Amino acid sequence: MKILVTGGLGFIGSNFCRYIITKYFDNKIINIDKIGIGANPANLEDLESEKRYNFIKGDIGDSELINEIIKQVDAIVNIAAETHVDRSIANPTPFIQNNTIGTFTILEGIRKHNDKAKLVQVSTDEVYGEIREGSFKENDMPQPSNPYSASKAAADVFVMAYHKTYGLDVAITRCTNNYGPYQIPEKLIPKTIIRALKNLPVPIYGSGKNIRDWIYVQDHCEAIDFVLRKGESGEIYNISAENELPNIEIVKKILKMLDKPENLITFVEDRPGHDIRYSLDSSKIKSKLGWKPKFCFEEALEATVKWYVNNEWWWKPLATEKILNPTPWKLRDSY
């Protein structure tokens, strides 16, 4: 199988490219990434000499480039996106451009140039919005709360419309919060680890009671692969590992693993529209496709913390004051 992976120099994209190249000796990848926020060429240095892996610096919104590549592949896994909610509050425009119009450009490319290619659209639990009790199922209506999740929900709606109108072979994955190596230090877990290692105050939004459901990135990559190879056309698959935790608890766990005091925790002004809880019912992917998460939360979190401790060379150039800012959503239009 020849796969176009978009956003393959980011956190999930780089883990996904490595997963595919290592698992399938006859698969080929073309990775398109514009090297924007979240991207780091160092993430896939180990694949640079691999003949089955080809990197092209480019934007998924560039229809000429995208069309040319779509003609050559069997499948597209669209991982590219602007991904930080705080940034979307500071400046929403790039989110519509990259997440919604970028996906639309890919759909047009498939429709016009290779309508047999399969598209896996990598989406997020955030499109459903918050849920105080119970868990969202795939047929629940998206009710996004912030510009990031709205831009992703809009992309999902286009993907489904192209399936219904033009019969494109598409599937959508909606996953919970990922953790693991190669995540940009502006996100909660790497930011907490890095600020704690530097003995800086560790910021928590509001009361710290907001609940997120955590999954190890490798489990997410495997689930995307299951959907790519076995997923039904026109279907949505929720992905979760059922590790729900209030943010304050995950921060406390990390501080304990690093042997740092809890008094590093500092409560800061909450971001607007901060969803109180996300939760997914992922029984469909388990029963229909046979996927299940493999990693134990405590062990994988510990391995993640150790990875950042041992790979300062990787995060040091990225961990600027701006990236480690305690309340980045306040940096209106300059973030």
Ligand X SMILES: NC(=O)c1ccc[n+]([C@@H]2O[C@H](COP(=O)([O-])OP(=O)(O)OC[C@H]3O[C@@H](n4cnc5c(N)ncnc54)[C@H](O)[C@@H]3O)[C@@H](O)[C@H]2O)c1
**Interacting residue with ligand X among 1, 19, 36, 302 (CB under 6 A):** 36
Stretch that binds ligand X, among 3-11, 133-141, 261-269, 292-300 (CB under 6 A): 3-11
293 in contact with ligand X (CB under 6 A): no
Q: Cβ–Cβ contacts within 10 Å for residue 32, how many?
A: 26
Q: Cβ–Cβ contacts within 10 Å for residue 45, how many?
A: 10
From 33, 59, 128, 148, the catalytic residue: 148
7 in contact with ligand X (CB under 6 A): yes
Stretch that binds ligand X, among 79-87, 129-137, 159-167, 203-211 (CB under 6 A): 79-87
191 in contact with ligand X (CB under 6 A): no
The residue among 2, 87, 76, 43 whose CA lies nearest residue 227 is: 76
The residue among 214, 223, 204 whose CA lies nearest residue 79 is: 223
12 in contact with ligand X (CB under 6 A): yes
From 126, 186, 222, 225, the catalytic residue: 126
The rounded radius of gyration (Å) of the Cα atoms in the chain is 19
Among this protein's residues, is 125 annotated catalytic? yes
Among this protein's residues, is 126 annotated catalytic? yes
Q: Scanning residues 160 to 189, which ones bind ligand X (CB under 6 A)?
A: 175, 177-178, 184
Smallest distance from ligand X to CB 292, Å = 18
Q: What is the largest CA-CA distance in the chain?
A: 57
Smallest distance from ligand X to CB 26, Å = 26
Among this protein's residues, is 62 annotated catalytic? no
Q: Cβ–Cβ contacts within 10 Å for residue 72, how many?
A: 13
**Interacting residue with ligand X among 18, 28, 30, 33 (CB under 6 A):** 33
3 state SS of 322: coil
280 in contact with ligand X (CB under 6 A): no
Q: Cβ–Cβ contacts within 10 Å for residue 270, how many?
A: 15
Q: Which residue is nearest to ligand X (CB)?
A: 10
228 in contact with ligand X (CB under 6 A): no
The residue among 247, 243, 235 whose CA lies nearest residue 219 is: 243
| Residue pointed to by tokens 């990693």 | 295
Determine the size of the site formed for ligand X (CB under 6 A): 31
DSSP string computed for 261-307: -GGGEEEEPPPTT--SB--B--HHHHHHH-----S-HHHHHHHHHHH
Catalytic positions: 125-126, 148
Which residues of the shown chain bind ligand X in the complex (CB under 6 A)? 6-7, 9-13, 32-36, 38-39, 59-61, 79-83, 98, 102, 122, 124, 152, 175, 177-178, 184
